A and B are shown apart, each in its own frame.
Chain A
């Protein structure tokens, strides 16, 4: 058998990594500001959030479903956190725990309704998106919480590593490692993947699929809430509109990262680091396009073209590696 090509090279992650490096080179040479400290710091914050949002979507895509309520859920959790800190005076650490629990709870609702009613998660989360967001607006009357403890908001603008990197990025990368560990090296992670890949077979093999699906939704809620906290720290306030109307602004990065990262939309496959690289790639391109000055009105156009190019290249890479692994 032919094993000249190392396994890592065959993966989607490798293709992404190459693309990321290529774009870093292009942008560093063709623009002034790209490698400036300010820009890299700014990038690190944006990437941090996009990774977290992407992961939150990824764990539901794992089940073959989608979580449209992601943004609404994240904002609701963030607003809950703002309320805890500002109105209730609850200390930061406890607030964070409460918010993560709250996010998991909203995720549990998504999962429970999906599993128990048999209605597809696409529709369930379409509805809960409206419901969560509606309740959030109703309860907060669209008022922001902006008198947050300074220790908390300062964390969002803290600069590490010679002022190049935001601590938020470290949280996201750590989360990636934890998730990678869970999916690769634990019983529960394997069961989540198996349940997502073929629910019937998994069920008959003694896995409680319903429970696994609910776990995935809870994990999604947890990660979305974490993203909500991170965004709150970054903008220094909990704001109802921080993910746009109905939390929609989060949906595109949420899809882009895992999808570029090679997560299978039909479920049963996760690529934690692929999602991370996907988020990095999108952020890089977006930032680079602004710097290159294609004219902001055309940014989306070029972003689309590059995305298309990236997935086509990846397909070409796959084709090439498969062809080379054929025995002759």
Chain B
């Protein structure tokens, strides 16, 4: 008689079973840092609206070891997010020119180039 066997799958630790799942979870978890970092920006904006003293205090607070560490982690997470995001754009948005599809490498390359330009602008404006 039929008695199909369903293999158990842990709802909370499934992603430990394969490297590709770990890579995926790492990518997903970047959002927590981006979330937190964006709130930091909102906080900075508040301090900015409160005048120079408040803003300087904010920058001061950033300089605490915790602040530095936080920024560092966010930076790493953000870079991981960017690369994982750009690498899959050709899948989500393929471009067909005439008969052929534009090779994925070119689309990814264009994104990286644009990323470099955008970063440069931000750095010039910020620094």
Indicate whether A and B interact.
no
